[in-house]
Chain A
Amino acid sequence: DTAVSQTPKYLVTQMGNDKSIKCEQNLGHDTMYWYKQDSKKFLKIMFSYNNKELIINETVPNRFSPKSPDKAHLNLHINSLELGDSAVYFCASSQKVRAEAFFGQGTRLTVV
């Protein structure tokens, strides 16, 4: 059983489109995160939710909107995609805010 799963694994789309990336964790964790990894492998936090409540919202364009329908899911919706959005997006979860984080396999987004 995959602990943190993201779909899709690869996403190729045109500029201007709207797309969503889904994330689900079956670990019973109450905190979930989205990280972005750029072409140089640098990882940076985007959002964090604890019990469906947004607790971290870094300087991210408001075209990016996270949605947490329940504790096990944290989806990322991106409007009006731009070339610079191309990256690998990682979902992660932890039992509590200060516990070890488990990462998904990543979603490689390519905007053409």
Chain B
Amino acid sequence: GNSVTQMEGPVTLSEEAFLTINCTYTATGYPSLFWYVQYPGEGLQLLLKATKADDKGSNKGFEATYRKETTSFHLEKGSVQVSDSAVYFCALRASQGNLIFGKGTKLSVKP
């Protein structure tokens, strides 16, 4: 069946540090892949997406590349800010349209 595995948190970084949050998936075929972000006390917001192999999604300085060889969609940002502190979810779209999420990774950025 479909599943998403992402690195366990929490991740604590200093401002301007480099961020990587690993995400791998198991699926039949090549599903669309997403990163969602949840800021404290808020709902989920789409951060970026990729719909086919080798696509790179990017937004707000974050990037992720759809790698079918390694079934991965790792999230990266070159220089994090305090305002990036949130929980990040990797997800794939199942054939029925619903999202299957990883367990989330909490990021804390210290000034």
A100 touches B46 (CB 8 A): yes
Asked whether A94 lies within 8 Å of B43 as measured between CB atoms, the reply is: no
Is A90 a contact of B43 with CB atoms below 8 Å?
yes
Contact A45 B99 (CB under 8 A): yes
One of A42, A55, A103 near B44 (C-beta < 8 A): A103
A42-B43 contact given A56-B98, A98-B32, CB 8 Å threshold: no
Q: How close is B34's CB to chain A, nearest CB, in angstroms?
A: 8
Contact mask B58-96 → A, CB, 8 Å, 1/0?
A: 000000000000000000000000000001010001001
Question: B25 contacts the other chain (Cβ, under 8 Å)?
Answer: no
A98-B32, A100-B49 in contact; A44/B101 too (CB < 8 A)?
yes
Contact of A101 with B by CB under 8 A: yes
Kindly state the separation between the CA atoms of A45 and B44 in the bound complex, as whole angstroms: 14
Question: Given that A41-B87, A43-B89 are contacting pairs, would A101 and B42 also be in contact in the complex, using a CB cutoff of 8 Å?
Answer: no
Interface set, chain B 1-53, CB cutoff 8 A to A: 32, 34, 36, 38, 42-46, 49
Q: Restricting to A27-42, which residues have a CB under 8 Å from any CB of B?
A: 31, 33, 35, 40-42
Whether B93 contacts A98 by the Cβ 8 Å rule is: yes
- Check A105 for interface membership: any CB of B closer than 8 A: yes
Top 9 nearest A-B pairs by Cβ distance?
A: A97-B97, A45-B98, A103-B44, A43-B101, A105-B43, A41-B104, A103-B43, A106-B43, A56-B96
A contact set with B: CB distance below 8 Å: 4, 31, 33, 35, 40-45, 48, 50, 55-56, 90, 92, 94, 96-98, 100-106
